[in-house]
Amino acid sequence: MAPPAMEMLGRSFLPGRASAAGRARGGGPCFAAAGREGRRRGRGPLRSAAPVGALAERVVVTPAPAERSGAAPPEEPPHPQSVASRAVVTVRRRRKEDAKRRVAEQLDAYADRVGRSVLLELVSTETDPRKGCPKKSKPSALLGWFEKKDVKAERVVYTAEFAVDASFGEPGAVTVLNRHRHEFFIESIVVEGFPSGPAHFTCNSWVQPARVDPRPRVFFTNKPYLPDETPPGLRELRRQELSDLRGEGAAAAAAGGERRLTDRVWEYDVYNDLGNPDKGAGFARPVLGGDQLPYPRRMRTGRPKTVTDDRAESRVEYPEPIYVSPDEEFEEGKNEMLSEGALKALFHNFMPLLVSSVSPDIRDFAGFHDVDNLFKEGLRLKQTLQDQLFQKIPFVRKIQENSEGLLRYDTPDIIKKDKFAWLRDDEFARQALAGINPVNIERLQAFPPASKLDPAVYGPPESAITEEHIVGQLDGMSVRQALEDSRLYMLDYHDIFLPFLDRINAQDGRKAYGTRTLFFLTGAGTLKPIAIELSLPPMTDGCKRAKRVFTPPADATSNWLWQLAKAHVCSNDAGVHQLINHWLRTHACMEPFIIAAHRQLSAMHPVFKLLKPHMRYTLKINALARQILINGDGVIESGFTPGRYCMEMSAFAYRELWRLDQEGLPADLIRRGMAVEDPTQPHGLRLLIEDYPYAADGLLLWSAITRWCDAYVAMYYPSDESVRGDAELQAWYGEAVRTGHADKRDAPWWPRLSSPADLASLLTTLVWLTSAQHAALNFGQYPLGGYIPNRPPLMRRLVPTEGDPEHAHLVADPHRFFLSALPSLTQATTFMTVIDTLSTHSADEEYLGERPDEEWTADPAALAAARQFVDEVRRAEEEIARRNADTGRHNRCGAGVLPYELMAPTSGPGITCRGVPNSVTI
C-alpha cells in the first residue's frame, strides 16, 4: 500500500559444505569460480578495479639468509610474508539533492582530506590460534573521497589498500567505520588480491556516522553458511550482529524507548497506533492484537503513549517519517513515483472538495455522463459555478488552466473496450473468476447454503434461497444434479458482514447487507448469476426484512432492483478484498515473518538469501498504511462501507478464517472446492472450472516457485536432522509463530518444520503470498475498480421494498436513485485517486525472479537453479499470452472482454494491470 497523494545440482562445489580440513585451508574452488563469473559479466566495481593478477604480483617475498649468501635453497619453497589486496567499494549517491545535502557532502569530503575518513577492516574466516579471536587486517582508509567529491555519477567507486599476513586466510567479513558527519549508502564491496579469488560483499545498506553509532558496520561475504558451518572467524560476528538486530547487548539500553530513524532494531508490537484518543472519543480505535481482537504483530516503534489512553501509542502523521529500519526505506525511484502520485492526488481531490463545499447540490453524480466526464474532461463545472468559484478563490482559474492533465482521470480498462460491460450479468460473474478479487468464489456443496453464526443471535442459519428461486436457471437440471455435477458456485459474505451490520448501518451514509450470490456454470464454461440474497440482522422473530432474495429480472422495476442488489454484492466484495484478502493476508500476516527473519537469520543464512528479495519495501509500505490507509478516518475507513469498523472486521476474519496451512494456492483451491487433487494433471490438480484465469495462471507461477524452493532447499538440507538442527531456522519460524502471530500460537494447524519438504513448502507459500498473490489482488484495482458503478466500494442506500417512500423515488427516477446509492462525488474521486497510486508500478520495480545484484550468492549451484527459475517464469508468461489469445477461453477473450494479465510476471512502470513484483512493494 502507499500514501494517496515485501532443480538440485551437484553438491561437490557448494560453499560452506566442504570438509573441516577444507574450511581450515580457507576456501574452495566455487568461490574463485563465482568471482570469475562475476568478472565475465563485467560488473561495475570490477571494471574499475586492478586485475587480480596485478595484485597477486604485489605479494612481497622476503628472501631467506641462505639465498642472500648464495647457499643452496631450502627444501621447502619460501612463504610470502604479506599479501597486498584492496577493497573496491561502490557507493550509491542520491540522484537529487537539496542545497543543504550538497553542502554536507562537501564538508565530509574536506573532513576526509584531513583524516576524518571512512575506515575499513578485513576479517578472516579463520581465527588466530594464539589469540583465539578472528584474524583481522589493520584498518585502512577509503581512498578518493575528496578527489571524487564533484563526480556526478550515481555510483562512485572508492578503494582501500590492505597488506595482511600470508596466513590470513580468506576474508569473510568487512567492517566499515564511518567517521564522516553524515550517512552514506554502500551498494557493494569486492575484495581482490587473495589466492582464493575475489570476495564479494553485497551490502545495499546505509552506514551511519560514528557520532550516531560508534560501532563499525559489519558486512558478511556472499558465501552462504548454515549456522553450524560458520567458519570460526565469523561465528562471534554472526552472533553479535543478530543480537544487535534484536535490540540486545549493546543496543539493549535503547531497546525500551522510542526508536530513532537511524536504528537497526527489529521488534514486535500490537496495532495500537491506528487511532488518536487525545483528539476525542470519536478518534479512538481499539487495539488490534490480544485476546479481544487477535491480530498479527507489526514493527515496534516505541513511541510514547497517548495522554488519555495508556494502551494507545501516539501517532506520527504523514508526511512525518515513521520508524522502520533504514535499509527498508524506499529508494529514490519509488519515492519519485509516490511524489508524482501525491501531486496528482492533490489536484484530483482539491477540485471535488472545493465544488462540493461551494455547491452542496452537486455532491452526487446527476447522471452517468458525470462519471464519464471524469475521464473525458476532468471535473467539468457549469459556467455559473465557475464564475462563483473564480470570484471567491481567484487562483482556481490558474489551477484549472495549468493542471488540465492532472484533473482528468485515466480511463479504467474496464470501460475501454466496452463501456456498458459492467451492466451485464455475465461480466458481473466473470469478475468473480478474473477480477480484482478472484479468491472468494467457492463451489456450492450443499443446498441451501447455511450460516455458521450463532442462530440464537442471528436467526435460522439456512439461506432464504429456495429451489423455486433457481431451478428455472439451471438449463433443465435439478438442483441436486447441478450440485453433483459441480455446476453451482457461490460468493458468500453473509457471515463476515452480519455481526457488524447494526453498527455499520447506524453510521451516516453507510448501508450494507450480508450477501450471498449463487452462480450456475454454463456449458460454455462461464458463470451466470441466478440468485442474490441480502440479509440484515433480524429485528423480531420471522422478520421479513432479515432475508430478501432477488433473481434475474423480468421487468423494468426488477431490473433496477437487481442492479442495486449486484451493487451491494460488489460493495461486500470490495470490503472483503481490501480488508482481508489484500491487507490482512498479504501485508499484515507477512510482517511477522519478515521481522523474525531479520532477528533470527543471519545475512549469510541461505534461507535469508532466498527470502531477501521477497521482503523488499514491505515494512515501509505497512508503516505508511498505519499512517494514512488503515488508521482512524483514513482512506480505508472513508472509502469502504464498514467505515470505522473496517479493522475490527479484519481482526474478526483473522481470528475466524486465517490459517497459514491453507494460504498456498493448491490448498486454497481445494478448500474452496474449486479444484480436486489429480496426479494426472500438470500441477497435481484438476480445476472444476477449467477457464478460471486466476487459478490457471496462478498454478503456472506456483509450480515454478515450488520447483525453485525444492531445488534450493535440497542444496543445503540433505536430511530431516539438518532442518531440525538448524538453530537459526527453527528460531525464525518459531518466533514468527509464537510472537509474531501470538494470538494463534496454539492453533493445531501450524505447519511443522521438521524436514526439507516442510521447509520447501513453507518457503513456497511465503514467496507465493508476497509475489503472485499480492500482485493478483493489487495491480488491478484502478484498471478494474476505477469506474465506480462497476464496483462501488461503499453503498449509501438499502434496496427499497414496495410501499417504502424510497421505492417511489426509485420508480420515478431509477438511474438517479441508483447513483445516489453509490459513493458521492468526493468519496468517489478520493477513492479513485488512492487506487490509482496503489495500482502503479514504480520504475525500480523488481519482478519475479529478478535480482539486480548478480552476486547475491557465491554458490554456483544456487545461481544455476535461480536461472532455471527465471526461465520457467518466462515460459509461464508466454503461456499466459497464448491463453489470452485463445477464443475458446470466454472468461479472458471475446468481444469487450479484458485479457487476464495480473499473473503476467513482467511489466513496464505505471498502471498496466499486469506484473508480479518479488515482494509487497505497494
| Secondary structure, 3-state, 697-762 | HHHHHHHHHHHHHHHHHHHHCCCHHHHHCCHHHHHHHHHHHHHHCHHHCCCCCCCCCCCHHHHHHH
* pLDDT band at 94; cut points 50, 70, 90: confident
Handedness of CA 618, 593, 244, 312 (dihedral sign): positive
* pLDDT band at 830; cut points 50, 70, 90: confident
* pLDDT band at 376; cut points 50, 70, 90: confident
pLDDT value of position 100? 82
Q: Could you give the count of Cα atoms lying within 13 Å of 490 in the half-sphere of its Cβ?
A: 22
What is residue 351's three-state secondary structure?
helix
Phi, psi of 765 (to 5 degrees): -65, -45
Mind listing the pLDDT tens digit for each residue in 599-640? 999 999 999 999 999 999 999 999 999 999 999 999 999 999
Indicate yes or no: pTM above 0.85: yes
pLDDT above 60 for 8: no
* pLDDT band at 439; cut points 50, 70, 90: very high
- Among 25-39, 526-540, 843-857, the minimum mean pLDDT is found in 25-39
Contacts of 567 (CB under 8 A, 6+ apart): 789, 792, 795, 818, 821, 822
The C-alpha cell 574499475 sits at 48
The residues annotated as belonging to the active site are: 582, 587, 774, 778, 922
Mind listing the pLDDT tens digit for each residue in 581-590? 999 999 999 9
DSSP state of 896: T
DSSP state of 910: B
What are the CA-CA distances from residue 411 to residues 372, 430, 856 (Å)?
Answer: 9, 20, 41
CA dist 234 and 490 (Å) reads 57
Mind listing the pLDDT tens digit for each residue in 26-66? 333 333 333 333 333 333 333 333 333 333 333 333 333 33
Percent of the chain with pLDDT over 70: 84
* pLDDT band at 730; cut points 50, 70, 90: very high
Percent of the chain with pLDDT over 90: 76
pLDDT value of position 39? 34
* pLDDT band at 82; cut points 50, 70, 90: confident
Please tell me which residue, 79 or 292, carries the higher pLDDT value.
292
Mind listing the pLDDT tens digit for each residue in 889-911? 999 999 999 999 999 999 999 99
pLDDT above 90 for 214: yes
Phi, psi of 711 (to 5 degrees): -65, -45
Query: Taking residues 255-270, what's their average pLDDT?
Result: 91
CA dist 362 and 353 (Å) reads 11
- Among 87-101, 493-507, 525-539, the minimum mean pLDDT is found in 87-101
CA dist 667 and 439 (Å) reads 12
pLDDT above 60 for 2: no
Q: What is the mean pLDDT of the chain?
A: 87
pLDDT value of position 95? 80
* pLDDT band at 363; cut points 50, 70, 90: confident
β-bridge partners, 217 = 176
Please tell me which residue, 253 or 286, carries the higher pLDDT value.
286
Q: In terms of Cα–Cα distance, which of 826, 835, 834, 832 is closest to 351?
A: 826
- Among 21-30, 102-111, 833-842, the minimum mean pLDDT is found in 21-30
